[in-house]
Amino acid sequence: MNDEPSFVKIYEWLVENIEKMGIPTFSASQDVPKKMPVCRVQLLNGSSTDQFKNATEYSYPFQIDVVDAQDKLVRSLTNAYKIMQLCQQVSIDGYSMGLVGKPQLSSMVDSSTNKILNRQIIRVTYNVIEDTVL
């Protein structure tokens, strides 16, 4: 058994690799960075799949919000596409894991703040085998 939960390692991998692209990230509880574009990465929930009798497999859906300025739709869509490709490359040492389907993308205009923003919402789910019983 690993010391750090698999969903934490997935979260850290996503954040680290999105930031390597030059896009600052933040969690739901952090202040939004001022410079656009930015990404919010969050684990939506975790649940056992009950698929195997001799192993514990969990399903972990993540949501990544790519937020950019009103006049930067092309940049926002391009960044979302690159992050979707990145999501398909997640690999965590010590865990057997797989992507469930392909990352899903939805696009919206966010007017919930004093600025109108472009928002690309990526949803991706990973199944991870955490424990095996011999």
Strands (E) across 10-73 are located at 25-26, 38-43, 47-48, 55-69
Whether residue 130 has pLDDT greater than 80: no
41 touches 14 (CB < 8 A): yes
Q: Identify the pLDDT of residue 134.
A: 54
Tokens representing 89 are 């490359």
Q: Identify the pLDDT of residue 55.
A: 73
Confidence of residue 132 (pLDDT cuts 50, 70, 90): low
Whether residue 94 has pLDDT greater than 70: yes
Q: Per-residue pLDDT averaged across 1-29, rounded?
A: 89
Whether residue 19 has pLDDT greater than 80: yes
Of the chain, the end-to-end C-alpha distance in Å amounts to 14
Whether residue 60 has pLDDT greater than 80: yes
Over residues 97-109, the pLDDT tens digits come to 899 999 999 999 9
Q: Identify the pLDDT of residue 8.
A: 92
Q: Identify the pLDDT of residue 96.
A: 86
Whether residue 78 has pLDDT greater than 80: yes
Domains in the chain, start-ordered, CATH in brackets?
6-132 (3.30.2000.30)
